[in-house]
Amino acid sequence: MIHGWVKIEKFLNYLLLFLLPTQLALHLWPPFAFVFGTRIDYLSPSIYLTDVLFLTLFLFWFRKSHNKFFSFLKKKRVHVIVFMTLVVLNIIFSISIYASIYKWLKLIELALFFFYVWARGDIFKSKTALTVFLYSLILFSFVGIAQFILGKTIGGPLYLLGERNFNISTPGIALVQLFGVNFMRAYSTFSHPNSFAGYLGVGLLITFFEYSKKELIRESLGIFIICLAFLLAFSSGAFVGLFVCLIVFLFLRKKVINLKNIILLPGLFLVVSLLLPFIAGVYLRSNIGLAQDIGQRFELALGAGRVISQKFFLGEGLNTFIIGESKITQLGFYLWILQPVHNIFLLTFSETGVFGLLVVYYVLVKFFKNVFISGNSAVFLCLVFILTTGLFDHYWFTLQQNMFLFAFVAGNSFRVRA
Protein backbone atom coordinates (compact mmCIF):
# COMPACT_ATOMS: atom_id res chain seq x y z
CA MET A 1 0.00 0.00 0.00
CA ILE A 2 2.79 2.43 0.95
CA HIS A 3 4.76 1.53 -2.17
CA GLY A 4 1.65 2.10 -4.27
CA TRP A 5 1.07 5.55 -2.74
CA VAL A 6 4.68 6.52 -3.47
CA LYS A 7 4.06 5.81 -7.16
CA ILE A 8 0.78 7.74 -7.13
CA GLU A 9 2.45 10.67 -5.34
CA LYS A 10 5.25 10.80 -7.89
CA PHE A 11 2.74 10.70 -10.73
CA LEU A 12 0.74 13.57 -9.24
CA ASN A 13 3.88 15.66 -8.78
CA TYR A 14 4.87 15.07 -12.38
CA LEU A 15 1.28 15.90 -13.41
CA LEU A 16 1.55 19.20 -11.53
CA LEU A 17 4.78 20.00 -13.37
CA PHE A 18 3.17 19.08 -16.70
CA LEU A 19 0.11 21.25 -16.03
CA LEU A 20 1.95 24.38 -14.86
CA PRO A 21 1.12 26.19 -18.15
CA THR A 22 -2.64 25.77 -17.60
CA GLN A 23 -4.89 28.53 -16.29
CA LEU A 24 -8.17 26.71 -15.67
CA ALA A 25 -9.62 28.43 -12.62
CA LEU A 26 -12.68 29.44 -10.66
CA HIS A 27 -12.79 33.26 -10.57
CA LEU A 28 -14.58 35.13 -7.79
CA TRP A 29 -15.77 38.71 -8.18
CA PRO A 30 -15.98 40.61 -4.87
CA PRO A 31 -16.45 44.41 -4.97
CA PHE A 32 -12.71 45.14 -4.80
CA ALA A 33 -12.19 43.27 -8.11
CA PHE A 34 -14.06 46.02 -10.00
CA VAL A 35 -12.61 49.36 -11.13
CA PHE A 36 -14.93 51.84 -12.86
CA GLY A 37 -17.49 49.03 -12.87
CA THR A 38 -15.14 46.84 -14.95
CA ARG A 39 -14.02 43.36 -13.91
CA ILE A 40 -10.24 43.24 -13.42
CA ASP A 41 -8.75 39.75 -13.75
CA TYR A 42 -5.65 40.72 -11.74
CA LEU A 43 -7.83 41.57 -8.73
CA SER A 44 -10.11 38.54 -8.90
CA PRO A 45 -9.45 35.92 -6.19
CA SER A 46 -9.00 32.77 -8.26
CA ILE A 47 -8.64 29.10 -7.41
CA TYR A 48 -6.60 27.40 -10.13
CA LEU A 49 -6.36 23.72 -10.93
CA THR A 50 -2.65 23.92 -10.16
CA ASP A 51 -3.46 25.47 -6.75
CA VAL A 52 -5.68 22.54 -5.83
CA LEU A 53 -3.18 19.96 -7.07
CA PHE A 54 -0.19 21.55 -5.32
CA LEU A 55 -1.90 22.22 -1.99
CA THR A 56 -3.23 18.65 -1.90
CA LEU A 57 0.25 17.25 -2.50
CA PHE A 58 1.78 19.63 0.04
CA LEU A 59 -0.69 18.63 2.76
CA PHE A 60 -0.02 14.92 2.21
CA TRP A 61 3.73 15.57 2.31
CA PHE A 62 3.34 17.81 5.40
CA ARG A 63 1.62 15.03 7.37
CA LYS A 64 4.75 12.88 7.30
CA SER A 65 7.44 15.56 6.96
CA HIS A 66 6.24 18.45 9.13
CA ASN A 67 9.39 18.19 11.27
CA LYS A 68 11.49 19.13 8.24
CA PHE A 69 9.20 22.08 7.52
CA PHE A 70 9.28 23.44 11.07
CA SER A 71 13.03 22.88 11.26
CA PHE A 72 13.42 25.03 8.14
CA LEU A 73 11.23 27.78 9.65
CA LYS A 74 13.20 27.69 12.89
CA LYS A 75 16.48 28.01 11.02
CA LYS A 76 15.05 30.95 9.03
CA ARG A 77 13.05 32.48 11.89
CA VAL A 78 14.60 35.96 11.48
CA HIS A 79 13.61 35.95 7.79
CA VAL A 80 10.12 34.73 8.69
CA ILE A 81 9.66 37.47 11.32
CA VAL A 82 10.82 40.19 8.89
CA PHE A 83 8.53 38.84 6.16
CA MET A 84 5.46 38.57 8.40
CA THR A 85 6.08 42.06 9.81
CA LEU A 86 6.11 43.42 6.25
CA VAL A 87 2.93 41.49 5.43
CA VAL A 88 1.01 42.82 8.46
CA LEU A 89 2.09 46.44 8.01
CA ASN A 90 1.46 46.38 4.26
CA ILE A 91 -2.07 45.04 4.79
CA ILE A 92 -2.86 47.55 7.56
CA PHE A 93 -1.87 50.53 5.38
CA SER A 94 -3.24 49.11 2.11
CA ILE A 95 -5.73 51.16 0.10
CA SER A 96 -7.65 47.89 -0.48
CA ILE A 97 -7.12 45.51 2.44
CA TYR A 98 -8.93 42.50 0.97
CA ALA A 99 -7.12 42.76 -2.36
CA SER A 100 -3.80 42.79 -0.48
CA ILE A 101 -4.77 39.87 1.77
CA TYR A 102 -5.57 37.77 -1.31
CA LYS A 103 -2.22 38.53 -2.99
CA TRP A 104 -0.21 37.91 0.20
CA LEU A 105 -1.91 34.52 0.51
CA LYS A 106 -0.89 33.82 -3.08
CA LEU A 107 2.73 34.77 -2.33
CA ILE A 108 2.72 32.56 0.76
CA GLU A 109 1.48 29.70 -1.43
CA LEU A 110 4.34 30.36 -3.87
CA ALA A 111 6.80 30.38 -0.97
CA LEU A 112 5.43 26.98 0.06
CA PHE A 113 5.83 25.73 -3.50
CA PHE A 114 9.42 27.02 -3.55
CA PHE A 115 10.11 25.11 -0.32
CA TYR A 116 8.32 22.01 -1.61
CA VAL A 117 10.41 21.94 -4.80
CA TRP A 118 13.55 22.27 -2.70
CA ALA A 119 12.46 19.58 -0.22
CA ARG A 120 11.32 17.13 -2.92
CA GLY A 121 14.61 17.05 -4.78
CA ASP A 122 14.09 13.32 -5.32
CA ILE A 123 11.24 14.23 -7.69
CA PHE A 124 11.79 17.69 -9.12
CA LYS A 125 15.53 17.34 -9.76
CA SER A 126 15.18 13.94 -11.45
CA LYS A 127 15.65 13.14 -15.11
CA THR A 128 11.99 12.15 -15.29
CA ALA A 129 10.92 15.63 -14.14
CA LEU A 130 13.06 17.19 -16.86
CA THR A 131 11.45 14.96 -19.49
CA VAL A 132 7.93 15.74 -18.22
CA PHE A 133 8.71 19.46 -18.32
CA LEU A 134 10.02 19.21 -21.90
CA TYR A 135 6.95 17.37 -23.20
CA SER A 136 4.69 19.84 -21.45
CA LEU A 137 6.46 22.64 -23.32
CA ILE A 138 6.02 20.76 -26.60
CA LEU A 139 2.28 20.21 -26.12
CA PHE A 140 1.51 23.80 -25.19
CA SER A 141 3.78 25.02 -28.00
CA PHE A 142 1.66 22.99 -30.44
CA VAL A 143 -1.40 24.82 -29.16
CA GLY A 144 0.21 28.22 -29.73
CA ILE A 145 1.39 27.33 -33.25
CA ALA A 146 -2.07 26.05 -34.20
CA GLN A 147 -3.64 29.30 -32.95
CA PHE A 148 -1.26 31.37 -35.08
CA ILE A 149 -2.09 29.32 -38.19
CA LEU A 150 -5.87 29.27 -37.61
CA GLY A 151 -6.16 32.86 -36.43
CA LYS A 152 -8.26 31.75 -33.48
CA THR A 153 -8.21 29.57 -30.39
CA ILE A 154 -8.79 25.85 -30.87
CA GLY A 155 -11.54 25.36 -28.28
CA GLY A 156 -13.11 22.04 -27.39
CA PRO A 157 -11.23 20.03 -24.75
CA LEU A 158 -8.51 22.70 -24.52
CA TYR A 159 -10.97 24.71 -22.44
CA LEU A 160 -10.12 22.27 -19.65
CA LEU A 161 -6.52 23.47 -19.89
CA GLY A 162 -7.59 27.08 -19.56
CA GLU A 163 -7.59 28.16 -23.20
CA ARG A 164 -9.80 31.21 -23.63
CA ASN A 165 -12.14 31.73 -26.59
CA PHE A 166 -11.08 34.50 -29.02
CA ASN A 167 -10.02 35.07 -32.62
CA ILE A 168 -8.07 37.50 -34.75
CA SER A 169 -11.03 39.94 -34.81
CA THR A 170 -11.52 40.05 -31.04
CA PRO A 171 -10.98 43.64 -29.77
CA GLY A 172 -7.69 44.08 -27.92
CA ILE A 173 -6.16 40.84 -29.20
CA ALA A 174 -2.38 40.90 -29.77
CA LEU A 175 -1.57 41.00 -33.49
CA VAL A 176 1.54 41.12 -35.62
CA GLN A 177 1.71 42.30 -39.22
CA LEU A 178 3.77 40.21 -41.65
CA PHE A 179 4.02 41.18 -45.32
CA GLY A 180 1.00 43.44 -44.94
CA VAL A 181 -1.19 40.73 -43.39
CA ASN A 182 -2.33 40.64 -39.75
CA PHE A 183 -1.73 37.47 -37.75
CA MET A 184 -2.78 36.61 -34.22
CA ARG A 185 0.26 36.09 -32.00
CA ALA A 186 0.56 32.71 -30.26
CA TYR A 187 -1.24 32.66 -26.90
CA SER A 188 -1.49 28.93 -26.13
CA THR A 189 -3.23 28.67 -22.72
CA PHE A 190 -1.78 31.95 -21.47
CA SER A 191 -3.53 35.29 -21.11
CA HIS A 192 -0.98 37.08 -23.32
CA PRO A 193 1.73 36.07 -25.83
CA ASN A 194 4.38 37.84 -23.76
CA SER A 195 3.77 35.63 -20.71
CA PHE A 196 3.69 32.57 -23.01
CA ALA A 197 7.06 33.57 -24.52
CA GLY A 198 8.50 34.18 -21.06
CA TYR A 199 7.49 30.70 -19.95
CA LEU A 200 8.97 29.13 -23.10
CA GLY A 201 12.17 31.16 -22.73
CA VAL A 202 12.82 29.70 -19.29
CA GLY A 203 11.92 26.26 -20.63
CA LEU A 204 14.41 26.54 -23.48
CA LEU A 205 17.21 27.61 -21.14
CA ILE A 206 16.55 24.66 -18.83
CA THR A 207 16.43 22.28 -21.79
CA PHE A 208 19.61 23.48 -23.50
CA PHE A 209 21.69 23.51 -20.32
CA GLU A 210 20.34 20.40 -18.58
CA TYR A 211 20.30 18.02 -21.55
CA SER A 212 23.45 16.44 -22.97
CA LYS A 213 24.34 16.91 -26.65
CA LYS A 214 23.09 13.41 -27.45
CA GLU A 215 19.78 14.10 -25.69
CA LEU A 216 19.38 17.43 -27.48
CA ILE A 217 19.80 15.69 -30.83
CA ARG A 218 17.27 13.04 -29.84
CA GLU A 219 14.73 15.67 -28.82
CA SER A 220 15.56 18.08 -31.67
CA LEU A 221 12.07 17.95 -33.26
CA GLY A 222 10.38 18.83 -29.98
CA ILE A 223 12.88 21.61 -29.31
CA PHE A 224 12.23 22.99 -32.81
CA ILE A 225 8.49 23.11 -32.04
CA ILE A 226 9.16 25.02 -28.81
CA CYS A 227 11.47 27.46 -30.62
CA LEU A 228 8.86 28.02 -33.34
CA ALA A 229 6.15 28.76 -30.77
CA PHE A 230 8.56 31.12 -29.00
CA LEU A 231 9.10 33.02 -32.26
CA LEU A 232 5.37 33.12 -33.10
CA ALA A 233 4.62 34.78 -29.77
CA PHE A 234 6.57 37.79 -31.14
CA SER A 235 7.60 39.01 -27.69
CA SER A 236 10.32 41.66 -27.94
CA GLY A 237 11.02 41.43 -24.22
CA ALA A 238 11.62 37.66 -24.43
CA PHE A 239 13.97 38.12 -27.40
CA VAL A 240 15.94 40.71 -25.42
CA GLY A 241 15.93 38.33 -22.44
CA LEU A 242 17.63 35.54 -24.40
CA PHE A 243 20.14 38.00 -25.87
CA VAL A 244 21.08 39.23 -22.38
CA CYS A 245 21.41 35.59 -21.26
CA LEU A 246 23.87 34.98 -24.09
CA ILE A 247 26.01 37.93 -22.96
CA VAL A 248 25.89 36.81 -19.31
CA PHE A 249 26.80 33.26 -20.35
CA LEU A 250 29.89 34.58 -22.15
CA PHE A 251 30.78 36.58 -19.03
CA LEU A 252 30.47 33.39 -16.98
CA ARG A 253 32.74 31.52 -19.37
CA LYS A 254 35.31 34.33 -19.21
CA LYS A 255 34.94 34.40 -15.38
CA VAL A 256 34.04 38.10 -15.48
CA ILE A 257 31.25 37.32 -13.00
CA ASN A 258 32.44 35.99 -9.65
CA LEU A 259 31.14 35.56 -6.10
CA LYS A 260 32.43 39.00 -5.07
CA ASN A 261 30.58 40.98 -7.74
CA ILE A 262 27.48 38.77 -8.07
CA ILE A 263 25.56 41.30 -5.97
CA LEU A 264 25.91 43.79 -8.83
CA LEU A 265 23.83 41.70 -11.25
CA PRO A 266 20.39 42.07 -9.60
CA GLY A 267 21.49 45.56 -8.55
CA LEU A 268 21.88 46.54 -12.21
CA PHE A 269 18.31 45.50 -12.99
CA LEU A 270 17.11 47.42 -9.93
CA VAL A 271 18.91 50.64 -10.91
CA VAL A 272 17.60 50.50 -14.50
CA SER A 273 14.07 50.01 -13.15
CA LEU A 274 14.31 52.94 -10.74
CA LEU A 275 15.46 55.19 -13.59
CA LEU A 276 12.42 54.35 -15.73
CA PRO A 277 10.02 56.93 -14.20
CA PHE A 278 12.57 59.69 -14.84
CA ILE A 279 13.23 58.50 -18.41
CA ALA A 280 9.48 58.19 -18.99
CA GLY A 281 8.91 61.75 -17.78
CA VAL A 282 11.56 63.15 -20.14
CA TYR A 283 10.20 61.29 -23.16
CA LEU A 284 6.56 62.09 -22.48
CA ARG A 285 7.33 65.80 -22.02
CA SER A 286 9.38 65.87 -25.23
CA ASN A 287 6.40 64.82 -27.39
CA ILE A 288 8.61 62.40 -29.31
CA GLY A 289 6.49 59.97 -31.33
CA LEU A 290 6.41 56.57 -29.66
CA ALA A 291 4.82 53.25 -30.50
CA GLN A 292 1.58 52.84 -28.56
CA ASP A 293 2.79 49.97 -26.36
CA ILE A 294 5.98 51.86 -25.44
CA GLY A 295 4.02 55.00 -24.68
CA GLN A 296 1.67 53.03 -22.44
CA ARG A 297 4.59 51.49 -20.57
CA PHE A 298 6.11 54.93 -20.01
CA GLU A 299 2.77 56.27 -18.73
CA LEU A 300 2.53 53.35 -16.30
CA ALA A 301 6.15 53.83 -15.18
CA LEU A 302 5.46 57.52 -14.56
CA GLY A 303 2.37 56.60 -12.57
CA ALA A 304 4.43 54.15 -10.50
CA GLY A 305 6.94 56.89 -9.78
CA ARG A 306 4.19 59.14 -8.43
CA VAL A 307 2.82 56.36 -6.23
CA ILE A 308 6.32 55.66 -4.88
CA SER A 309 6.86 59.33 -4.05
CA GLN A 310 3.61 59.34 -2.05
CA LYS A 311 3.88 55.88 -0.42
CA PHE A 312 7.64 55.47 -0.15
CA PHE A 313 8.05 53.26 2.92
CA LEU A 314 5.24 50.68 2.77
CA GLY A 315 3.65 51.25 -0.63
CA GLU A 316 -0.06 51.46 -1.37
CA GLY A 317 -0.67 47.78 -0.60
CA LEU A 318 0.12 44.57 -2.44
CA ASN A 319 -2.13 43.97 -5.46
CA THR A 320 -3.49 47.53 -5.46
CA PHE A 321 -1.60 49.24 -8.30
CA ILE A 322 -4.61 49.14 -10.65
CA ILE A 323 -6.89 50.49 -7.92
CA GLY A 324 -4.38 53.21 -7.10
CA GLU A 325 -3.71 54.22 -10.69
CA SER A 326 -7.41 55.03 -11.18
CA LYS A 327 -7.03 57.74 -8.51
CA ILE A 328 -3.94 59.38 -10.00
CA THR A 329 -4.67 62.63 -11.80
CA GLN A 330 -2.81 64.25 -14.71
CA LEU A 331 -2.17 60.98 -16.48
CA GLY A 332 -2.92 60.17 -20.10
CA PHE A 333 -4.61 57.37 -21.96
CA TYR A 334 -3.15 54.65 -19.76
CA LEU A 335 -5.82 55.37 -17.13
CA TRP A 336 -8.18 53.20 -19.14
CA ILE A 337 -5.74 50.34 -19.66
CA LEU A 338 -6.09 49.24 -16.03
CA GLN A 339 -2.96 47.13 -15.91
CA PRO A 340 -0.04 46.91 -13.47
CA VAL A 341 3.13 48.81 -14.32
CA HIS A 342 5.19 46.73 -16.74
CA ASN A 343 8.23 46.36 -14.50
CA ILE A 344 8.46 43.94 -11.56
CA PHE A 345 10.75 46.19 -9.49
CA LEU A 346 8.57 49.29 -9.90
CA LEU A 347 5.48 47.19 -9.19
CA THR A 348 7.08 45.84 -6.01
CA PHE A 349 8.23 49.30 -4.93
CA SER A 350 4.86 50.98 -5.54
CA GLU A 351 2.89 48.23 -3.76
CA THR A 352 5.21 47.29 -0.87
CA GLY A 353 7.44 50.36 -0.50
CA VAL A 354 11.18 50.52 -0.02
CA PHE A 355 11.04 47.83 2.69
CA GLY A 356 9.44 45.35 0.32
CA LEU A 357 11.89 46.26 -2.42
CA LEU A 358 14.86 45.64 -0.11
CA VAL A 359 13.45 42.24 0.89
CA VAL A 360 13.07 41.27 -2.79
CA TYR A 361 16.60 42.45 -3.58
CA TYR A 362 18.01 40.46 -0.64
CA VAL A 363 16.19 37.31 -1.78
CA LEU A 364 17.44 37.72 -5.36
CA VAL A 365 21.04 38.13 -4.20
CA LYS A 366 20.69 34.94 -2.12
CA PHE A 367 19.32 33.08 -5.15
CA PHE A 368 22.13 34.25 -7.41
CA LYS A 369 24.80 33.40 -4.84
CA ASN A 370 23.45 29.89 -4.26
CA VAL A 371 23.17 29.16 -7.97
CA PHE A 372 26.65 30.54 -8.67
CA ILE A 373 28.20 28.41 -5.92
CA SER A 374 26.36 25.30 -7.17
CA GLY A 375 27.56 25.93 -10.73
CA ASN A 376 24.04 25.48 -12.12
CA SER A 377 24.22 27.56 -15.30
CA ALA A 378 20.66 26.68 -16.33
CA VAL A 379 19.04 28.15 -13.21
CA PHE A 380 21.45 31.11 -13.16
CA LEU A 381 20.50 32.11 -16.70
CA CYS A 382 16.82 31.49 -15.97
CA LEU A 383 17.04 34.06 -13.17
CA VAL A 384 18.77 36.50 -15.55
CA PHE A 385 16.05 35.91 -18.16
CA ILE A 386 13.28 36.46 -15.60
CA LEU A 387 14.80 39.74 -14.38
CA THR A 388 15.43 40.96 -17.94
CA THR A 389 11.88 40.27 -19.12
CA GLY A 390 10.70 41.71 -15.80
CA LEU A 391 12.08 45.07 -16.93
CA PHE A 392 9.42 45.17 -19.67
CA ASP A 393 6.49 43.28 -18.19
CA HIS A 394 4.80 42.25 -14.95
CA TYR A 395 3.72 38.63 -15.57
CA TRP A 396 6.36 37.06 -13.27
CA PHE A 397 4.60 38.85 -10.43
CA THR A 398 0.95 38.75 -11.54
CA LEU A 399 0.10 35.65 -13.63
CA GLN A 400 -0.35 32.16 -12.22
CA GLN A 401 1.71 30.13 -14.70
CA ASN A 402 4.71 32.44 -14.65
CA MET A 403 4.67 32.90 -10.88
CA PHE A 404 4.66 29.15 -10.32
CA LEU A 405 7.48 28.70 -12.83
CA PHE A 406 9.48 31.43 -11.04
CA ALA A 407 8.99 29.58 -7.74
CA PHE A 408 10.02 26.33 -9.42
CA VAL A 409 13.24 27.89 -10.73
CA ALA A 410 13.93 29.47 -7.33
CA GLY A 411 13.43 26.13 -5.59
CA ASN A 412 15.95 24.59 -7.93
CA SER A 413 18.45 27.34 -7.15
CA PHE A 414 19.26 25.67 -3.82
CA ARG A 415 20.22 22.28 -5.15
CA VAL A 416 22.01 20.87 -8.18
CA ARG A 417 19.90 18.36 -10.08
CA ALA A 418 20.77 14.76 -9.22
- If you write DSSP's letter for every residue of 67-131 in order, what string do you get? HHHHHHHHHTHHHHHHHHHHHHHHHHT-SSHHHHHHHHHHHHHHHHHHHHHHHTHHHHTSHHHHH
Q: Which of 238, 143, 240 is nearest to 198 (CA)?
A: 238
CA distance 48 to 393: 22
How far apart are the C-alpha atoms of 99 and 45, rounded to whole Å? 8
Domain ranges of the chain: 1-418
Distance, in Å, from the CA atom of 140 to the CA atom of 147, rounded to the nearest integer, reads 11
**Residue 359 and residue 236: Cα distance in Å, rounded?**
29
pLDDT tens for residues 302-356? Answer: 999 999 999 999 999 999 999 987 776 455 544 446 889 999 999 999 999 999 9
Instruction: Compute the half-sphere exposure of residue 230: CA atoms within 13 Å on the CB side of its CA.
Output: 22
The pLDDT profile of the chain, 418 residues, written as one tens digit per residue, is 456 778 899 999 999 999 999 999 999 999 999 987 889 999 999 999 999 999 999 999 999 999 999 999 999 999 999 999 999 999 999 999 999 999 999 999 999 999 999 999 889 989 999 999 999 999 999 999 999 999 999 988 898 888 999 999 999 899 999 999 999 999 999 999 999 999 999 999 999 999 999 999 999 999 999 999 999 999 999 999 999 999 999 999 999 999 889 989 999 999 999 999 999 988 877 777 667 778 888 889 999 999 999 999 999 999 999 998 777 645 554 444 688 999 999 999 999 999 999 999 999 999 999 999 988 899 999 999 999 999 999 999 999 999 999 999 999 876 543 3
The pLDDT tens digits for 380-414 are 999 999 999 999 999 999 999 999 999 999 998 76
**pLDDT per residue as tens digits for the range 45-55:** 999 999 999 99
In residues, how long is the chain? Answer: 418
H or E element, residue 184: strand 181-184
Question: Residue 35 CB: number of other CB atoms within 10 A?
Answer: 16
